[in-house]
Structure 1
Amino acid sequence: MSLHPLPPAGAEHRSRSHYHALFGLVMLVNLGVIACQLYRHGWAELMASPNALAGLAMANIGMAILMRQSLVITALFWLATRAPVTWPLGIRRHLAKVYHYGGIHAGGACAGTAWLALLVGSLLSAPGDQHPPALRWTASALLGYLLGMLLSALPAVRARHHDAFEKVHRYVGWTTLLLTWGLAVQLGPSAGQDDARGGVPESALLVFLGMITASILLPWLRLRRIALDVQRPSPHAVILTLAGTRAPFPGSAMAISRSPLGQWHSFANIPAAGQTDFRIIISRAGDWTGQFIDDPPRHVWMKGFPTAGVAYIEVLFRSVLYVATGSGIGPVLPHLLAGRVRMRLIWSVRSPRATYGDALVDEILAAQPDALIWDTQRDGKPDLLQLSWDTAHDMKAEAVICIANRALTDAVVNGCEARGLPAYGAIWDS
């Protein structure tokens, strides 16, 4: 392979810029709403309208919840990838950033909490007999729980205490839903007062809250127990075949758990050659995965619908270079097997055949004879950015999709983007 020296990086780039832009857009819209409310009614009137404040809080929090609903996520990916490859690359490269939808989720959660804080301020500052104590306590408790969820989602906290973050969002999330219903019901008696000030009718609050609740419950209505066929090619990885379950679309993931009330983790769905079943690759990357490999269950629980992942955006490009490390081959393999676009693979992995088995490696090479499988045990760790740049230049790739750990993903994605080559990878957003 010829060596193509990396050109100097352009303006500083960060792979989360689209995430931040969407977050900022949500905040700007909310600032526009509050400016409009202040212009029309003034501060005193706004603070005297608890239903209006509650409606704005619920609208934002509802948006945050919907942006984590698998059907909504997949619909966003489907819409973004309707653009044909004949469109200018400058447009397609931005459409492919659809997976930064987490910016809307985080923006909605923050804005909704801010509106709720105004609601609590409104209730606490009103005369003592204007609102019942239960309403004030419910709103204050809800605000406290939401602030706790926001604090647990801060990047530094989430990275250091990921298990705690998951538990807070699971159990506190259900608690906040119950408190929100309590708040909406208790606000009912003041709806008539608020209507004159542009407030939200009680019926609208309850209907909207019902939609949010249905969105949360829907995945649980598809809870099912699936039998497993477990292959353990090494102490580092297991390959699960989910028997009797039809393979979802390429580029999707499903959440599985050993127990419905335990931890849930999403893994890429890999079609099994010549079968309707599909597979999941789990590599050792923490306590949960380590226990799963050392003591694999005979069944797992699955809920919800297939959710599109970052690599689903490949169809926006004529040619794609996939860069994967270790178990990152799991999300990439369905695309290699589907062969929907011209592609090439770089897989950096420690002892690939010993770790993942001959059958999997042979399957990859059958789908991608030109794949570069870099054995880090034999050849050491490669310079993935330089290797990606060389390969993308040789194959005239329109985009690079990297599935690796956070440090390597940032290095490859930011390095390519800073030099004008569209690149994509997980952003570990909240």
Structure 2
Amino acid sequence: MIDCKSCSTPSGHASIIKFEGGIKVGILGRISPSSFSEWHAFGIISDNKKEHMMLAGAVGDFTKSLVTNPPSHLLVRQVHFVGLPYLITMYDRVLLVATGSGICVFLSFLLQPCKADVCLLWVTKNVQKNFGNNHDTAVLGRPHMLEMSIAAAKNWGAKVVIVTNNPEGSRDVVDACKGAGIPAFGPIWDS
């Protein structure tokens, strides 16, 4: 078990878990509430020096419990692995599509120099409440992610679309982009 430096809940939709020690940017970490339960992977945001943090959207039982009952300790796998954003380095022009807390997967990677030209399409609601001042894409109702992703990819001239969304949303955006002749990748929701 590793002590959480802090676990804050800026809203009922997400928690921010901070740990001591910097970690190389662009990788994912895995945490678990106990050795008898499954491991959950999250993007790591780090200053690479003093601390690192994970942003966890409250979508399942475990992540909802992080919001309703923030832990003081978690099991943390010490071996980290590269995540979906590392595909960015394989292409010249990339469209990143994220919804809500899924932005965290890309944030750590976007903090480092990158040879690719990158465009970010981030759709979220209650931005000020959940993440601070910015644009709220849900003011006019739920946006049509498939159309927005294809249009943004074509307008940007993206060679690939990389998406983080819920399982259904990721699959739908990837399938729609591929149907439009645009290579696309999303997470494998196998855990």
What percent of counterpart residues are identical?
29
2:105 maps to which of 308, 325, 331: 331
Verify: 1:426 aligned to 2:175, yes or no. no
Look up the equivalent residue of 2:43 and give its one-letter code: A
Task: Give yes or no for contact 1:236–1:355 (8 Å, CA) kept in 2.
Answer: yes
Residue aligning to 1:150 = none
CA shift for structure 1 position 306: 0.7
Residue aligning to 1:228 = 5
Look up the equivalent residue of 2:108 and give its one-letter code: P
Query: 3-state SS of the aligned residue for 2:62?
Result: helix
Verify: 1:296 aligned to 2:70, yes or no. yes
Task: Give yes or no for contact 1:239–1:279 (8 Å, CA) kept in 2.
Answer: yes
Residue aligning to 2:118 = 343
Residue aligning to 1:262 = 37
**Residues 344-366 of structure 1, C-alpha deviations (whole Å, 9 max, x = no match):** 111111111212334xx6xxxxx
Higher Cα Rg, which structure: 1
CA shift for structure 1 position 315: 0.3
Write the distance in 2 (CA, Å) between the matches of 1:268 and 1:336.
12
CA shift for structure 1 position 256: 1.0
Verify: 1:389 aligned to 2:166, yes or no. no
* Structure 2: segments with no counterpart, 5+ residues: none
**Residues 360-392 of structure 1, C-alpha deviations (whole Å, 9 max, x = no match):** x6xxxxxxxxxxx5521x121111122112222
Query: 3-state SS of the aligned residue for 1:296?
Result: coil
The structure with the greater share of residues assigned to strand is 2
Distance of aligned partners of 1:428 and 1:235 in 2 relative to their CA distance in 1, 3 Å threshold? closer
**Residues 19-59 of structure 1, C-alpha deviations (whole Å, 9 max, x = no match):** xxxxxxxxxxxxxxxxxxxxxxxxxxxxxxxxxxxxxxxxx
CA shift for structure 1 position 262: 3.4
Query: 3-state SS of the aligned residue for 1:402?
Result: strand
Verify: 1:322 aligned to 2:84, yes or no. no
**Residues 164-196 of structure 1, C-alpha deviations (whole Å, 9 max, x = no match):** xxxxxxxxxxxxxxxxxxxxxxxxxxxxxxxxx
Query: 3-state SS of the aligned residue for 1:411?
Result: helix
Write the distance in 1 (CA, Å) between the matches of 2:102 and 2:187.
11
Task: Give yes or no for contact 1:253–1:308 (8 Å, CA) kept in 2.
Answer: yes
Look up the equivalent residue of 1:375 and give its one-letter code: T
Q: How does 1:185-224 map to 2 (within 5 A)?
A: none
Provide the aligned C-alpha RMSD in A: 2.0
2:137 maps to which of 375, 389, 397: 375
Q: How does 1:279-290 map to 2 (within 5 A)?
A: 279-290=53-64
Verify: 1:248 aligned to 2:24, yes or no. yes
Write the distance in 2 (CA, Å) between the matches of 1:286 and 1:387.
26
CA shift for structure 1 position 264: 2.2
Residue aligning to 1:238 = 15
Verify: 1:417 aligned to 2:178, yes or no. yes
Look up the equivalent residue of 1:352 and give its one-letter code: V
Write the distance in 2 (CA, Å) between the matches of 1:227 and 1:348.
29
Task: Give yes or no for contact 1:237–1:356 (8 Å, CA) kept in 2.
Answer: no
**Residues 304-363 of structure 1, C-alpha deviations (whole Å, 9 max, x = no match):** 4111222211100011111111111110111222241211111111111212334xx6xx
Write the distance in 2 (CA, Å) between the matches of 1:275 and 1:395.
35
CA shift for structure 1 position 257: 1.8
**Residues 70-99 of structure 1, C-alpha deviations (whole Å, 9 max, x = no match):** xxxxxxxxxxxxxxxxxxxxxxxxxxxxxx
Query: 3-state SS of the aligned residue for 2:10?
Result: strand
Task: Give yes or no for contact 1:248–1:306 (8 Å, CA) kept in 2.
Answer: no
Verify: 1:354 aligned to 2:129, yes or no. yes
Write the distance in 1 (CA, Å) between the matches of 2:189 and 2:65.
23
Write the distance in 2 (CA, Å) between the matches of 1:407 and 1:258.
26
Task: Give yes or no for contact 1:241–1:278 (8 Å, CA) kept in 2.
Answer: yes
CA shift for structure 1 position 263: 3.5
Task: Give yes or no for contact 1:392–1:400 (8 Å, CA) kept in 2.
Answer: yes
Query: 3-state SS of the aligned residue for 1:242?
Result: strand
CA shift for structure 1 position 227: 3.1
Q: TM-score, normalised by structure 2?
A: 0.89
Distance of aligned partners of 1:394 and 1:356 in 2 relative to their CA distance in 1, 3 Å threshold? same
Write the distance in 1 (CA, Å) between the matches of 2:37 and 2:179.
41
Write the distance in 2 (CA, Å) between the matches of 1:339 and 1:226.
31
Task: Give yes or no for contact 1:323–1:347 (8 Å, CA) kept in 2.
Answer: yes
**Residues 261-280 of structure 1, C-alpha deviations (whole Å, 9 max, x = no match):** 334211111124x8442110
